[in-house]
Amino acid sequence: MQRLKTRAQFQAVLAGATVARTAHFALHRCALDLASSAAPLFASDDVWLGAMVPKRWARRAVTRNAIKRQIYTVSAATAVALPHAAHVVRLRAGFDRKEFVSASSDKLKGAVRAELQQLLARAARSPAPAPAPSSPSSS
């Protein structure tokens, strides 16, 4: 599994389809076929993964880093289930600070891990997005 590193890679994947959602996460996917405009950004035809944890939803850096570590750990364990494409797991809602007081508590890590497993299971069931149809020529 390769990790997304550049802004252009993240933007290309986020422009693709959202293939799965849970209460706190969304998974975006971009196919890596040769016809795709994103193909030059990715050196190999492998599973690519990036994690986006905005400061808006996780204020403390320790929380953001703990969530990112969980994203990479859980997805590495289920890498065989993901199709050969580029993926971004995006945090789209914050975890309640009243329920999860400590930013790096086992309770928060367990909740994040369970939800990520659910997200990746949903993504594995959904088919890879078909390439966008080209417009018919008017000749």
Dihedral sign, Cα of residue 86, residue 119, residue 92, residue 51: negative
Task: For the chain, list the domains and their CATH numbers.
Answer: 2-125 (3.30.230.10)
Side-chain-facing half-sphere of 28: CA atoms under 13 Å: 19
Each residue's pLDDT tens digit, 69-107: 999 999 888 766 788 888 999 999 988 888 888 877 888
pLDDT tier, 54 (very low <50, low <70, confident <90, very high otherwise): very high
Each residue's pLDDT tens digit, 13-30: 999 889 999 999 999 998
pTM of the model: 0.81
Residue with tokens 């018919």: 136
